[in-house]
Amino acid sequence: MPDVSLQVFIVLLLVLGAEFVNGWTDAPNAIATVVSTRVLSPGQAVVMAATLNIVGAIVTGTAVAATIGIGIVSPDVIGLPVVAAAMLTIIIWSTVAWRWGIPTSESHELVAGLTGAGLAAAGPSVLLWAGWQKVLIGLGFSTVLGFVVSSILMFALYWILHKAHLATITAIFTKLSIASAAFMAFSHGSNDGQKFMGVFALVLVLGGVTSQFSVPIWIMVLCGAVMGLGTAVGGWRIIRTLGSKLTRLDPVSGFAAQTSAGLAIMTASGFGIPLSTTHTITASILGAGFSRSSSSVRWGVGGNIVAAWVLTFPVCGVLGYLFSWLLGMAL
């Protein structure tokens, strides 16, 4: 790691802190179904998720990291207090949501926190519309596409398997759900995993440590390891919410939800579109449950999750603004 000043080091620690809570509330989405259906043990799932998150970020490039790092707010007119304010926002909001077992979108917390902090520091001119367009497109990808593809896939599987023996179906889809969970973890790394890597690299640029924005492998490995540690320490609340409280999952529906979410995420990553893994897998799980019957979905739990989504943008925007203003006054 390059030599850094104390201020840069503190902000980098805040980035890693935000990545850690991302492991609490966002990264567990990639393994919630495979753990809740008892296809893999929690320990096996965490190791797989952490490893494939890093691999996904390395293999698929850094388009999403660039969108977050230099595409939401102009790096030419912000400083380290803006990034610090955004990270504090994520840590606080994610911790509150985690306490109640509600999966939140660190993607939207990050975007809203950076935006609010940037507005406090430099006004509306700091916002970059091109990056925001990708964020708004990602909202559609994460909800509509996840739900629709999962529903269609479940209907197709019901039609194909309706005459097969239950023992045969369970044996086949137990193995397939491991593959789909691995694919989901890989796709999470290709999109969500890149976001804090992009912020980490941005801090190095703002602190004068590096002259241009880039995301070397050591940043990917460090951020991926911290996220995996967060999942191992506190991800089980979110795994329970998505894996059992939202709807009852079996290996077939778990496979459908994970595969659909992974396809949506990988498609977005190819275009450098940052989307919410939380939104995508939740919508996919709802689609898989809805394909059985509307009554199989616990809509009250889903409503709490959606309410947290709706509140994320305004709350994190305001928190980012306040923290940025306070840090700007203090420094």
Positions of the chain with pLDDT lower than 70, given as ranges: 1-4, 26-30, 61, 101, 103, 234-246, 331
For 60-163, strand residue ranges (E) read none
What pLDDT shows up at residue 116?
94
Residue spans of the domains in the chain: they are 6-330
Q: What is the pLDDT of residue 243?
A: 56
- Kindly tell me the burial class for residue 161, based on how many C-beta atoms sit within 10 Å of its own C-beta (0-12, 13-18, 19 or more): middle
Could you tell me if 324 and 117 are in contact, meaning their C-beta atoms sit under 8 angstroms apart? yes
User: Distance of alpha carbon 262 from its chain centroid, rounded?
Assistant: 12
pLDDT for 80: 93
- pLDDT at residue 228 in the model: 78
Q: What pLDDT score does 240 carry?
A: 66
pLDDT on residue 244: 59
* CA–CA distances in Å: residue 312 to residues 112, 142, 308, 315: 8, 15, 6, 5
Q: According to the model, what pLDDT value does residue 120 have?
A: 93
The pLDDT value given to residue 323 = 96
Q: How crowded is residue 162: how many other Cβ atoms within 10 Å of its Cβ?
A: 7
